[in-house]
Structure 1
Amino acid sequence: MYDQEKIKKMKNHELAMEAYYYSINNKLIGGISEKNAVKCFEQIIAMLNSDERLNLPFITVNGKCCVATKKRLIKCSKNMFGYKFKEWNWSQITNVFYKTTLTAGTLILNTVDGEVKISINRGGTEFAGEKLRKLKREAK
């Protein structure tokens, strides 16, 4: 039989696969392989509290995976030394904007520490921006 840790990893892997395909289906995909994206999403999922769920998983154009929950926004990037995380609680984000150009889209977060720009696929910019705004409103 499987031990509890193995079962948890299987569930995390399944959730990570769903997050990856959600990002593809909603045109929120960037320059990263399926294998690396799933591993990144698995790392983020392992960080989540038991009451958090993935409200918006997406991948930036430069291959970083992001997940928005009702509590926070988490960005994961992989380098040769492992995974690096950056996160913002909704209370740290004052405004969410988005804009598109002919070739790309940008999510713009005004945070207490300054402006954060996240480049994503042009086709999913409006969808992601509106979803982030909704999560921000609900977090108040």
Structure 2
Amino acid sequence: MTNHEIGMEAYYYSINNELIGGISKKNAVKCFEQIIAMLDSDERLNLPFITVNGKCFVATKKRLIKCSKNMFGYKFKEWKWSQIRNVFYKKALTTGTLILNTVDGEVKISINRDGAEFAGEILRKLKNEAK
């Protein structure tokens, strides 16, 4: 499979599991393609999701990677599971929030309310498996 095909599958996985946010399909697929190109040969996508403000995330067994698109291209941030102490999630009236307690402080990720519990549980599972 090409990176584009995998990016498309990641996009549709996000939609089907209600982990979709404010980004166009074209930009989301491009972000996922960029993340896929960064992965090691033994890594696979365990959880691709899109935040409500249009950032794409991919969780693997090794790390969590964020891709955001700006005027000048793509910007990436990643956390290895050893850098994340705890993973929590909260659901509010309209959105959900994933809360990562990292060695650098708290990171809040706003996602679709209906996908918050699903994403939180998978991230917790990946974090526990990485120990």
- Structure 1 residue 119 and structure 2 residue 110: aligned? yes
RMSD between aligned residues: 0.6
2:59 corresponding residue in structure 1: 68
Identity of aligned residues (%): 88
Measured after TM superposition, the shift of residue 136 of structure 1 is 0.2
Measured after TM superposition, the shift of residue 74 of structure 1 is 0.2
Query: Helix, strand or coil: the match of 1:58?
Result: strand
- Structure 1 residue 11 and structure 2 residue 2: aligned? yes
Q: What CA deviation, in whole Å up to 9, does each residue of 1:67-91 have, x standing for no partner?
A: 0000000000000000000100000
TM-score (normalised: structure 1)? 0.93
When Rg is computed on C-alpha atoms for both structures, the one with the higher figure is 1
- Structure 1 residue 32 and structure 2 residue 23: aligned? yes
Measured after TM superposition, the shift of residue 133 of structure 1 is 0.2
Hey, what's the Cα distance between the residues in 2 that align with 1:65 and 1:115?
A: 19
The structure 1 segments of at least 4 consecutive aligned residues displaced by more than 4 Å after TM superposition are none
Q: What CA deviation, in whole Å up to 9, does each residue of 1:41-60 have, x standing for no partner?
A: 00000000000000000000
- Between Structure 1 and Structure 2, the one with more helix by share is 1
1:109 corresponding residue in structure 2: 100
Count of residue pairs the alignment pairs up: 131
Amino acid at match of 2:4: H
